[in-house]
Chains A and B, each alone.
Chain A
Amino acid sequence: MAEVLSFDLSLRRDGFALSLTERIPLDGVTAVTGPSGAGKTTLLRCLAGLERGASGSVRLGDDVLQDETRFVPPHARGVGYVFQEARLFPHMSVARNLAYGARRRGVAQERIEEIVRLLDLAPLLDRRPGGLSGGESRRVALGRVLASQPRVLFLDEPMTGLDSARKAEIMPHIVRATHGLGLPALLVSHAEDEIQTLADRVLKIEEGGHAGWGRVPVRLPARVVEHCDHGAVLVVGEARLILPLPASAERNWALAVPPDGALVSTGPPGPGNALASLQARVGAVPGDGTVALEVAGHTVAWPWPEGRIVPPPGSDVWFTILKVYPRPTG
């Protein structure tokens, strides 16, 4: 049973009010989404203890971080916070940046070495933050937080301001940090690719309040069977598809299929730009806007457009994949 981060928080500032009560399981990645100004970053800051004006309670597992009588300061909360900007200490080398939190939390040197390997930081260790590129800086910032061995990781739009190439560079590292190390995380983001790739559940907030839980991305397991000029050949169910993955890519993957990333048809699909077509079977229709589909040996809750006729349960259909967000699973 996973620990829970529970909170009942309110904060009032000029022209903005936050009022949120929630329980978030501490396993996998919980994405916090919502429009700009909804209070996503403010929520993270309140939970981290960086907003002294926030009232209410915060509990991390069995530990009370904040209530009417208690306010655990940020440095003692066990939260690792990756800010929107790298915020590296400019007067320290990358190695000293990495060791900063680790030393204060009594983390063994082996852990730092593990993080250096995991995020491929060895070539950067002697450099100063001023000489790093945007992607490298974010990587070091992530590594610095991971090396401090937090209980929970807060990722506040960790890839904001990066171009797609830099994003592609850092995304696998974030996946390794959150899923490879098994560290529970809260991810503030409104980028669909980040949410689809990383999130295991989606909390929506609007105007400082709860706006419901979003759908968990549909994920299909896949494994790399060979490499070709265009990337890696993966097998998902009985189908094969090619994704532009590096030759060093992990063997097992989870392919997140966004709602607009697949078509369901009763007949076989015609020629087109699809990545792959899989035979699927219609299962239950729970009435929540989804249809259960048995695809590639898994039952997934596939979002079904309102008004569109659902084939009877047990019908064979084609599940044609147009777009996926791959996430390595080992």
Chain B
Amino acid sequence: MLLDAVWLSVRLSAVTTAILLVIGLPLAWWLATTCSRFKPAVEALTALPLVLPPTVLGFYLLVLMSPDTPLGAAWVRLTGDTLTFSFAGLVVASILYSLPFAVQPMQTAFSGVGTGLMEAAAMLGADRLDAFRTIALPLARRGMLTAGVLTFAHTLGEFGVVLMVGGNIPGRTRVISIEIFTAVETLDYRTAHVLSAGLLVVSFIVLTFVYVLNRGRARG
């Protein structure tokens, strides 16, 4: 049971991180370089999960993904399973909930690259995609690593959104934090201790890694 929860959390974190790095990259680049008047609104939407209670986000997602809605019904037709109370639903919820942790470090890194080097690359014959690939991406690699690590760690410790969207189904939606909650509810303090200490240590290691990475960036 305990290992099931750990494995489920790791899987959820890995899938969420991979997807967020892919979709967060163009969004972060756009936010770092655009002068669009829609930028503040998009930035606010991206940062919303930082201030919104997870239960609020979870509630809206639960409503949006229920089989009665077009989205939920389409998913059922496509896969034969509901989006709510499933691993796929948890992934969707985690992507939205961890979005700022992926986008903001990459946006900061891209802003640090600046337009000057991109213009220099263009004047040397590089088109925009080429300049992005050869200049912006390598220079922003630390920001991308920070984004990946923070997204993974943040998803690993998710509770509210997961509980709202996925419930508490052992082996299916019961992630580590919900396992801890269940253990405490049933007075199984040993399990709660083991899992809590594990999350604490992982979080500490991850944050130390991020700070070491950023110190390297400040020096380099």
Residues of A within 8 A of B (CB): 48, 50, 73-76, 79-81, 83, 85, 87-91, 100-101, 104-105, 144-145, 148
Contacts and interface: CB of A to CB of B under 8 A. Distances in A.
B202 interface: no
Contacts of B138: 91
B135 A74 contact: no
18 contacts: A48-B123, A75-B123, A75-B126, A75-B127, A75-B130, A76-B127, A87-B117, A87-B119, A87-B120, A88-B120, A89-B117, A89-B120, A90-B139, A101-B123, A101-B125, A104-B126, A105-B124, A145-B123
Given A73-B127, A89-B117, 20 more contacts: A50-B122, A73-B122, A74-B122, A75-B122, A75-B125, A75-B130, A75-B131, A76-B127, A81-B120, A81-B123, A87-B116, A89-B120, A91-B138, A91-B139, A100-B124, A100-B134, A101-B123, A144-B124, A145-B123, A145-B124
B121 interface: yes
A75 to B, nearest CB: 5
Contacts of A80: 123-124
A327 B134 CA distance: 38
Contacts of B124: 75, 80, 100-101, 104-105, 144-145, 148
Q: How large is the interface on B (under 10, 10 to 19, 20 to 34, 35 or more residues)?
A: 10 to 19
Contacts, number: 61
A85 B117 CA distance: 10
B37 to A, nearest CB: 15
Nearest to A130: B220
Contacts of B117: 87, 89
Interface of B: 116-117, 119-128, 130-131, 134-135, 138-139
Contact of B123 (A79, A89, A90, A91): A79
A48 B135 CA distance: 20
Given A89-B135, A90-B139, A91-B139, A83 B120 contact: yes
Given A87-B120, A89-B117, A105 B125 contact: yes
A192 to B, nearest CB: 28
A233 B116 CA distance: 44
Nearest to B125: A104
Contacts of A87: 116-117, 119-120
A90 B116 CA distance: 12
Which among B119, B124, B126, B139 has the highest number of chain A CB atoms within 10 Å?
A: B124
A101 B122 CA distance: 9
Contacts of B139: 90-91
A81 B117 CA distance: 12
A73 B58 CA distance: 46
A88 B56 CA distance: 48
A112 B126 CA distance: 18
A301 B127 CA distance: 46
Nearest to B114: A87
Contacts of B119: 50, 74, 81, 83, 87
Contacts of B127: 73, 75-76
Given A90-B139, A91-B138, A91-B139, A100 B121 contact: yes
A100 B134 CA distance: 10
A232 B11 CA distance: 76
A85 B120 CA distance: 10
Contacts of B123: 48, 50, 74-75, 79-81, 101, 145
A221 to B, nearest CB: 35
A101 B121 CA distance: 8
A83 B116 contact: yes
A144 B124 CA distance: 8
B145 to A, nearest CB: 15
Contacts of B125: 75-76, 101, 104-105, 148
A74 B130 CA distance: 13
Which among A79, A90, A144 has the highest number of chain B CB atoms within 10 Å?
A: A90
A85 B116 CA distance: 9
Contacts of B116: 83, 85, 87
A60 to B, nearest CB: 14
B74 to A, nearest CB: 40
A323 B195 CA distance: 82
B219 to A, nearest CB: 11
